[in-house]
Amino acid sequence: MKKLNGKQIMVTVIVLLMIFGVNSFTALRSFSAGEEGIKEAAGFDVNTSMMENLVGLKGKSVTLTLSSGQTITGIVSEVKGNLLHLAKISQKEFYDALVAIDHITAIEVKVR
């Protein structure tokens, strides 16, 4: 086995520190991102109406499932009365939608 000199040992130690340091930093970042996802998931409140939940999601991207089974994805722009203004409909450039809240059967929000 070949004996390593001081410079080779130092380079090896630095490389190992870089590898393990990056892995531990990445693990810390993913843990903190998980906490943010939990806080955002807490935006749903089963004790309130569909309308009140949508008001809390204003400005966020949501996917709605309608009573017909159709899904529609966009950004919650405004909620008034029994109507939801959904802006920037996905896969349809320059389209918005006005949805009757009583026709919404599910709301999906990306939290992780």
Q: Where are the domains of the chain?
A: 1-42, 50-108
Q: Domain 50-108 is in which class?
A: mainly beta
Q: What is the 3-state secondary structure (H, E, C) of the chain?
A: CCCCCHHHHHHHHHHHHHHHHHHHHHHHHHHHHHHHHHHHHCCCCCCCCHHHHHHHCCCCEEEEEECCCCEEEEEEEEEECCEEEEECCCCCCCCCEEEEHHHEEEEECCCC
Tens of pLDDT, residue by residue over 72-101, are 999 999 999 999 999 999 988 899 999 999
Question: What's the whole-model pTM score?
Answer: 0.60
Tens of pLDDT, residue by residue over 33-76, are 444 444 444 468 888 899 999 999 999 999 999 999 999 999 99
